[in-house]
Structure 1
Amino acid sequence: MGKGPGLYSDIGKRARDLLYRDYQSDQKFTITTYSPTGVSITSSGTKKGELFLADVNTQLKHKNITTDVKVDTSSNLFTTVTIDEPAPGLKTILSFRVPDQRSGKLELQYLHDYAGISSSIGLTANPIVNFSGVLGNNTLAVGTDVSFDSKEGALTKYNFGASFTNADLIASLTLNDKFDTLSATYYHTVSLLTNTAVGAEATHSFSTNENTITVGTQHSLDPLTTVKARVNNFGKASALLQHEWRPKSLITVSTESITSSGTKKGELFLADVNTQLKHKNITTDVKVDTSSNLFTTVTIDEPAPGLKTILSFRVPDQRSGKLELQYLHDYAGISSSIGLTANPIVNFSGVLGNNTLAVGTDVSFDSKEGALTKYNFGASFTNADLIASLTLNDKCDTLSATYYHTVSLLTNTAVGAEATHSFSTNENTITVGTQHSLDPLTTVKARVNNFGKASALLQHEWRPKSLITVSTEVDTKSIDKSAKLGLALALKP
């Protein structure tokens, strides 16, 4: 983990590198040679269809000064002079391109334990001035990136971002393109030994109302060979294999395919990216989904003994704000919430009893309509190996009874049942099921109801808190219909 918050360009960089770096849809080669005096010469060539692009780059290092000179096939001469640490933490970069007389730029970068600053100015009569700054440390950082056009007298760019980093994960949230693009990234190190990591990026454009979600992973087959793969919600899947066949010499093979067609109907892809930040007794959850919703929940645990406070809201829904208070006692459990609107919905639920017998109610009142929108009642009985409950829900329209019995704690074997009766439709639903652990990491479950629908699942914890689940469902009364198959993968740090 680096020292200090870094620069603004570092926010979300690890996830973007995992998802996009080294992927090629063209044919590219790069050859670098070194002279005895330390001068490096790099030749690059890229074939895009029938077009071939090439450049030659020379790098010269002398003490703390590095000079890069590059010539491309369009007769452009790029020169960059970097002075590293003329003062502690400072870097100076001068760049220009010939024959473009307006391309000159001077940039200063400064890194500190609690700040990272980068400022640049174009070397013209009416320059564009750019400033980016990050405040924080190597755990939490917030920053901005702003550009000002002195000729137009207007801001041409303003971005804001925040990042959270710990030992094995990096999460970031940025608002770019003049507040038009909201991006969230997540990077998680699964194994340092095999360089295994997973990453995700979710981007929403407010102007086009378009969402892009990309997830990917990387893994080192051996110290010299790495594989990467990614897929996005538009059905584009990519993979690459990179091998270091000699020191600093890499060969990379990548491919991209479209896994689904935009003309398919009846297939809906839903996804979300969730970031959780914990600080002392405060937990903040931020989630972005494919419907352009930003869910935020702030939980304060035990501001007073037994009390929990929860504030939640959803953007852009201005009526979604809600404040909830929960209180737990040896003989009572109370939860009360109120919507943060002019005419809120107020909810109250309370339970009285102990860890053997409990009775309770759950009531909601709409202050705008002046009426109860929900009233439920329930009771439960618990002992060492069974739990039974009876509830009356949906404004006393649905009566439900449940039963759970622990058969064996050693193998996590249990059976359960639920019987539900609807008074309005006079319909009964009875579901019975069981679960059993094949080993400490693998669990199987099965259930069937009186309508003939049978389901089963196999869940394996392949690493701590990371689960892979395979489930299936079949309608035994309609054997002509094919069974449904589901696959879920959950990765947690």
Structure 2
Amino acid sequence: MCAIEEVEVAPAAEVEPSPPLPEAPSMAPPVYADLGKQARDVFGKGYHFGVLKLQCKGKTETGIEITAGGNNAIESGMFTGNLETKHKIPEYGLSFTEKWNTDNTLITEIASEDKVAKGLKFILSTAFAPQTGKKSGVLKSIYKTDGLSVNLDSSLDLGGPVVNGAGVVSYKSWLVGYQMAFDTAKSKLTKNNFAVGFTSSDFTLHTYANDGAEFGGSLYQTIKPELEGAVDLAWSAGSNITRFGIGCKYALDKDAAIRAKVNNSSQVGLTYQQKVSDGITLTLSTLIDGKNLNQGGHKVGLALELEA
């Protein structure tokens, strides 16, 4: 009889389960003051009516950012200038900003971010006018986390600080915000605002109600990669006045863009922006009063921005 050898069969290797797919990271919503910012930028950025503007930006070898500029009002000839320096210390999460303007006001800001807690930022801002000796200060705090942004500010006034607070909550694509201001000296609520919005990758809707007396909203949409459009609407219960405007921005190419806007007062704003070369941008603006085309009163503006 033949002997039958037993052959040991190695156990099958266990198959490890595939790791779960990473979830899409949640993001903090914008702070209350930035709700509807995309639409406001369409109506506000790039327009310099009635002024000649020069702005220069640069950065030193040590990392100090310097911004200097000035505006000259064409009609009155009044000139205003400003100078700003900013120094960052990333390893400590600190930044120091100093500002000066031709009103002879000195402003100093010290900011600390993500050091006390992740997403928490503190800003101490002080202002001093040497001619009058007037001093003021504000302590600001901003906290951002998944689905929530909160900011709380307080003026540094021993006679009774004014406390400003706001919060924005996001759920999927919806945003709900509240903003308030409380005068501790008078024990009175001086601001009571609500906002509701909807946002997606190419569309933003923002509505608000301020103190139960002013209501409005804005709509922003990226129609095409080179074309942005916005609509703004507001109504005041006290004066029963309605404001309405439509604006757009069209990029002709990577170096040139045109902007246009019109409101229900028949004011038409036009601007052409051209990047002349690296670090040099020229902007021409005009505001046309459609109700008085033949009577003048139209405004023009020119801005030159230099960045090194």
Please report the TM-score for the alignment, with normalisation by the length of structure 2.
0.80
CA deviation map 1:7-65 (0-9, x unaligned): 11121111011112221111111112221101122111101131011111111111122
Confirm or deny that 1:106 pairs with 2:139. Answer: yes
Structure 1 position 143, deviation (Å): 0.6
Q: For the aligned residues, what is the CA RMSD?
A: 1.9
* 1:88 aligned to which of 113, 118, 122: 118
Show the counterpart of 2:40. 16
Q: Pick closer, same or farther for the CA change 1:81–1:2 going to 2, 3 Å.
A: farther
Q: Equivalences for 1:24-423 in 2 at 5 Å?
A: 24-25=48-49, 26-48=51-73, 49-63=76-90, 64-86=93-115, 87-99=117-129, 102-125=135-158, 126-137=160-171, 139-176=173-210, 178-192=211-225, 194=226, 196-261=227-292
Q: Equivalences for 1:469-484 in 2 at 5 Å?
A: none
3-state SS of the aligned residue for 2:166? strand
Give the structure with higher Rg (CA).
Answer: 1
Answer 1 or 2: higher relative contact order, Cα 8 Å, separation at least 6.
Answer: 2
Structure 1 position 103, deviation (Å): 2.0
Count residues with an aligned counterpart: 259
- Runs of 4+ residues over 4 Å off in structure 1: none
Structure 1 position 2, deviation (Å): 8.9
Matches of 2:219 and 2:112, distance apart in 1: 33
Matches of 1:239 and 1:122, distance apart in 2: 39
Q: Pick closer, same or farther for the CA change 1:81–1:12 going to 2, 3 Å.
A: same
Structure 1 position 102, deviation (Å): 4.8
Q: Does the CA-based 8 Å contact 1:183-1:204 persist in structure 2?
A: yes
3-state SS of the aligned residue for 1:260? helix
Q: Does the CA-based 8 Å contact 1:5-1:139 persist in structure 2?
A: no
Q: Does the CA-based 8 Å contact 1:84-1:90 persist in structure 2?
A: yes
Structure with greater strand share of residues:
1
Question: Which ranges in structure 2 are unaligned for 5 or more consecutive residues?
Answer: 1-24, 294-308
Question: Which ranges in structure 1 are unaligned for 5 or more consecutive residues?
Answer: 263-493
Aligned amino acid, residue 180 of structure 1: A
Please report the TM-score for the alignment, with normalisation by the length of structure 1.
0.51
Matches of 1:82 and 1:251, distance apart in 2: 33
Identity between Structure 1 and Structure 2 (%)? 26
Aligned amino acid, residue 115 of structure 1: L
